[in-house]
A and B are shown apart, each in its own frame.
Chain A
Amino acid sequence: MRTTLFAAALGAAALLGAIAPASAQRTDPCAGPITFGTTISATGTNSTLSDRWMKMTEIFEEEFNRMAGGVALSGCGGKKVPIKFVMYDDQSVPATAVSLYEKMATVDRVDLFVGPDWSTHGFPVSQIFEKYKTPSVMSNVATPRVYEQGFKYITGLAFHANTWSQNYFESLKNVNPQPKSVFWIVHDNLIAKTVYEIHKPIAEKQGIKTVGEEIFAPTTRDFTGIILKIRAAKPDIIYISSFDAVSVPLVQQMRQLRVTAMDVHHIMATGSLARQINLEGVTGELYWHEGIKGPYSDIALKVLERAEIKLFDYLWTGGRLDSYFVMIQAIEKVGKLDREAIATALRAPGAKWKRPGGEFEFDAGGLSKIVAFTHQIQNGAPVIIAPAAQATGTIKWPSPTWQ
């Protein structure tokens, strides 16, 4: 009996020992390495977008520590300390991501978080950051509602859903003939629906009338019903707000059933999509492109090369890498490992942050104000058509392959 009581007391003490320091910071804010906790959707439904990111993150750790020499801590006499990642596969399941972040906070006791990706994950996981008062720079969490919860410890790297197709609609003002109508095809998903809801009034304000809108479930295989509606409506623009993988049969069947339009715009016109179907002439958005050089692009390009990742294939890789760069900059701004100070620095109004695609700011809720590059697939490769300052070519209008 005494042995059992002793074991129980020991177990309780160990449990308390494991939990108590979780919200506390390490005692020496100048010691290295600095640990970043993250989850990646290496398996499961979202892994089509991120299955190479675990390898990429390992390479990032190695290359950043080698090329930059580590994070410069001005508050510690300019000492440079290496970074180290603690990584898990969230299997594309939000609930799994939540439990893994809880584990990293209490068992692995990481210093800071980077990630997770996707709005579906960012929503529930943001509670963990608040609970443990540990700042995180999430990646590819673009739904504004995630940032409207009044949380202090979250920031996120993504194109802002509010400005997702801003450059696209701006570029439409200069095309001839002018488009007058649009048909919206929307994947039943949080971010795809948000982008559609935001851009529909923008298009109408620009004189582009909505002549049809359809929401489709991710399991939809046959799109004949939608396509026949499009053919009847005869829109000038067909705007597809969808993840790439689920829209493969849609675009394939649009081609087969001879759909015509001035332009077909796909918010995720990726290399993966282009390998399966004819995407020639389709316009879309890119987060970053290898041809656009900026801060940290030397490290980023080296990492991408070693990880065998092309940004056109893995559209969201830029957001993931940027989350690492921004967290490193936040630590360097503070000069030491101080979670409260880092959280405050990340949300400081007007603060500028660097990324390979250029400089940006966070909005009041913590979501990056990044506007996507608009591209058109020409001869099998993406050509940047907007903004004009970074354009690598001009738009072919009306799109020759949809006539």
Chain B
Amino acid sequence: MTAIIAQLVISGLLLGGLYALVAFGLSLIYGVVRILNFAHGTLLAIGGIAASIIFAVYKLNPVLIAVVLVLVFLVFGYLMHIYLLDPLKKRNPFEATIGTVLVTVGLLLIISDLAAEIAGPTPKNIPLEFHAYIVGEVIIQRAELYILGGITLFTIALHLFLKKTWFGRAIRAVTQSPLGANICGIRSKQIHAQTVAVGCGIVAIAGVLWSLKFPVDPYGGFDLTVRAFTIIILGGIGNLVGALLAGLFLGLAEVFTSFLWASDWAPAVSIVLLLVILVVFPRGLASVRK
């Protein structure tokens, strides 16, 4: 029984870590710019597909692939904000909110179909073969350790980046008061665009790590967006540590539900958690701590 629990915990942590990574970008963008990016999961799928194609063609190290994709996604995110999202702010708040939903949903549909047209609709992954460590009856893939290590390092790096750098402080200032930040010389419009760019850069890293573990297809992203929404509500909007904990919690909950109850109920866990949290802890895990 101990071996079974250990195997479930490893799988749950890995799944949850990947979920958290998906949620980081969404949380950052919503926390700062107040935009619900419905195309977020689809961007991850596109990142994963691009990574798998680059790997298949050039046999590049996934770390190098991630570096290339992050640069591309940074530019994409910046342009997306400048040309698609920022113009909506000229409208009244209601129209702006509806507009951002429509624009990001439209973007989701367009990039899904474009990716399917260019790369084909079949799922793709990075089929790297790694050795496995076998401890008693517990089997741990070396790839899983790399992914877990990558997620941990990235979370620490992102946390330090947001806490210790000028850009991180500027983001927090704009989040607290865009007007106050402007008075202090911070151009909130630029910070917003750069935040969307960073959010998209994070999703590129998530896409590469995701495709190392699971296949991705152009139409599979929206489901991940829903998971990411659950995580940021669970962890508290704009709270990265909360998102990490919520992601891990969700991953473990799904894996244990699948084993202890039934597999077809595992995806429903996120929805049930979402409802419970909204009713009992409307401000997320952070409100429990306070």
Contact = CB atoms under 8 A, between A and B. Distances in A.
B122 A272 contact: yes
Contacts of A248: 123, 125, 214-215
A225 B263 contact: yes
Contact of B215 (A219, A225, A256, A276): A276
Interface stretch (A7-15, A173-181, A197-205, A210-218): A210-218
A256 B141 contact: yes
A277 B122 CA distance: 13
B7 interface: yes
Nearest to B223: A219
Contacts of B73: none
A181 B122 CA distance: 33
Nearest to B134: A258
Interface string B10-22: 0110110000000
Contacts of A48: 121-123, 217
A231 to B, nearest CB: 8
Contacts of A43: 113, 116-117, 121
Contacts of A228: 4, 7-8, 259
A272 B217 CA distance: 13
A221 B217 CA distance: 13
A215 B263 contact: yes
A224 interface: yes
A229 interface: yes
Given A225-B263, A226-B258, A276 B11 contact: no
A188 interface: yes
A365 to B, nearest CB: 29
Contacts of B127: 276-277
Contact of A224 (B7, B121, B125, B132): B7
B76 interface: no
B266 interface: yes
Contacts of A220: 258, 263, 266-267
Most A CB contacts (10 A, CB to CB) among B12, B113, B132, B264 go to B264
Contacts of B266: 216-217, 220, 222, 225
B255 A225 contact: yes
B219 interface: yes
Across the A-B interface, the 4 shortest Cβ-Cβ residue pairs: A225-B258, A225-B259, A224-B11, A47-B121
